Structure 1
Amino acid sequence: MDYRRFGDTLLVRIDRGEEILEQVKTVALKENIQLASVQALGALGSFTVGVYKIDEKKYYANSFEGSFEIVSLTGTIDTMNGEFYTHLHLSAGNDRGEVFGGHLNRAEVSATCEMVIRLIDGRIDRQYDDVTGLNLFKFL
């Protein structure tokens, strides 16, 4: 992984064999990112995404292996209890044009991933919500 910062924007290259969430955390901690939006594209060899069932308050994971193009990777970097937190969603398509997606649990890059992290001047935290069972924005 390599990256460069240009003002309030970081351009990140995640390399073959690297896991996306691990690299996002590495950059966020190194750059002390408190609040940012994330978007990316690239190619994956495997990934796991989850779908949340609100009535059960539980995520169900789906794993995929093969050749996939990231159609959309979007989300936020922020904090929970003052510590690093990220919430990313991924959609990826196969060679037949079928797209699969959900809450990103894991994604291994097969060729490259080009990511843009846009810093937001502000701060929020997250807190657990008993009604939904999710960690929601807590505006400070």
Structure 2
Amino acid sequence: MEYKRFENTIIARIDKNEEILEQVKTIALKENIKLASIQALGAINDFTVGVFKVDEKKYYANSFQGNYEIVSLTGTINTMNDEYYCHLHLSAGNESGQVFGGHLNKAVVSATCEMVIQIINGKVDRVFNEEVGLNVFKF
């Protein structure tokens, strides 16, 4: 992975066989990012995404292997209990044009991933919300 910072914007290239969430964390910690938005595209060959069942307050994971193009990767970097926290969603399409997605648990790059991290001046922490069963923004 390589990246370059331009004021409050980071342009990153995540390379073949690297895991996206690990690389985002590396950048965020190195650059001391407390709040940012993320968008990316690229190619992956091994990913796991989750779907949250509200009535059960539980995530269910789906894993995929093969040739996939990232149709959309979007989310946030912020903090929970003043520690690094990242929340990303991924949609990826296969050779037939079928798209699968959800809450990103893992994604391994097969060719490259081009990412833009837009740093926001500020800080928004998270807190666990008992009613919905998720970590939500705390203002």
Unaligned runs of 5+ in 2: none
Give the Cα–Cα distance (whole angstroms) in 2 for the partners of residues 135 and 32 of structure 1.
21
Q: Distance in 2 between matches of 1:36 and 1:44?
A: 23
Uncovered stretches (5+) of structure 1, i.e. residues with no partner:
none
Where does 1:1-140 land on structure 2 (aligned, <5 Å)? 1-139=1-139
Sequence identity, in percent?
71
Q: Secondary structure at the match of 1:62?
A: strand
What is the CA-CA distance between 1:122 and the residue it aligns to?
Answer: 1.0
RMSD of aligned alpha carbons: 0.3
CA apart distance, 1:41:
0.1
Aligned to 1:73, what secondary structure does the other structure show? strand
SS at match of 1:22: helix
Q: CA deviation at 1:7?
A: 1.0
Runs of 4+ in 1 over 6 A off after TM superposition: none
| TM-score w.r.t. length of structure 1 | 0.99
Which residue type is aligned with residue 113 of structure 2?
C
Q: How far 1:87 sits from its partner (Å)?
A: 0.3
Measured in 2, the distance between the counterparts of 1:106 and 1:75 equals: 14
CA distance in 2, matches of 1:121, 1:26: 19
TM-score by length of 2: 0.99
